[in-house]
Amino acid sequence: MTLFAQQGFAATSIGDIEEAVGLQPRRGALYKHFKNKQDLLEAAVRQHLDDAAATAEELEAAALSSAADAPGNLRAIVVALAQRFLAEMDRLEELTRIIEHDRSRLDELIAEVKLRAVDLSYISAGRLVAEVAPSGTDADATAVVLLGSLVALRRTTWTFGSAPIAISDDRFLDAWADVALAALGPQHVVASDRDA
């Protein structure tokens, strides 16, 4: 994935890949596992999708459990979830770059990537919002607003080498938690442990 993300699909040779994984370049060892470079790319994308799905399920289960066990500690829970989401974004940076640069190579996988990596995160977040927000809250739209700002933070950092106005993750997450708790209802702002 790293070579495809850095060099692009066309500029990455089978020899480059073999050398990067410790095989003798241009000896055909890669063909024992994959039909061609396209097959390798698709297998790598699917592995990233499997990992993303497992992470989303793990985060959702942990968040629901934490919210039930310590409802007065919701601020710490949402900050921890946001930190994990940003870490997952960082893990998927290479996949994102490949999709942006070589989308035509992945046409058949694009819908799967959106469903299993993008939409799954928003759906999981929507379920969490629905658990703690007042009735009548549009949980899915709220999840998109909240996660969308995290995505924008990371994407700006990737593109320009630093966050907007060079704001630190900690400072961003502190303000983001304020917004998230306000969106989840005034009872969570009061119950926040921020000033404790």
pLDDT at 191: 41
**pLDDT surpasses 80 at 64:** no
Mean pLDDT in the chain? 84
- Segment 93-101 mean pLDDT: 87
pLDDT at site 135: 87
d(CA 143, CA 167): 22
At residue 70, what are phi and psi to the nearest 5 degrees? -140, 70
Under the banding of pLDDT at 50, 70 and 90, the label for residue 103 is confident
167 Cα distance to chain centroid? 20
Instruction: Locate the DSSP E strands across 48-142.
Output: none
pLDDT digits (tens, 9 = 90+) for 7-47: 888 888 888 888 888 888 777 777 888 888 888 888 888 88
Half-sphere exposure of 149 (CA within 13 A, CB side): 15
pLDDT at position 192 is: 39
Residue type, 97: R
Q: Does the structure show a pLDDT above 60 at 174?
A: yes
Sequence-distant (6+) residues with CB within 8 A of 10 are 102
The distance of Cα 4 from the centroid of its chain, to the nearest Å, equals 19
Q: For residues 182 and 89, what is the distance between their CA atoms, to the nearest angstrom?
A: 24
What DSSP line would sit under 120-147, residue for residue?
HHHHHHHHHHHHHSPTT--HHHHHHHHH
CA-to-CA distance for 26 and 17, rounded, in angstroms? 10
Given 3-state DSSP classes, what are the helix, strand and coil percentages for the chain, each rounded to the nearest 5?
80, 0, 20
How confident is the model over 146-161, as pLDDT tens digits? 999 999 999 999 999 9
Residue written as token pair 């989303």:
56
- Percentage above 90 pLDDT, the chain: 26
User: Which residue's structure tokens are 């119950």?
Assistant: 191
Name which of 63, 67, 66, 69 is nearest 84 in CA terms.
Answer: 63
Of the segments 54-68, 111-125, 130-144, 160-174, which one has the largest average pLDDT value?
160-174
pLDDT category at 70 given cuts 50, 70, 90 is: low
- Is the pLDDT at 186 greater than 80, yes or no? no
The pLDDT of residue 169: 96
What is the spatial distance between Cα 183 and Cα 150, in angstroms, rounded to a whole number? 15
pLDDT top residue among 41 and 166: 166
> What is the C-alpha to C-alpha distance for residues 191 and 196, in angstroms, rounded to an integer?
10
Q: Is the pLDDT of residue 189 over 60?
A: no
Closest CA to 14 of 23, 1, 26: 26
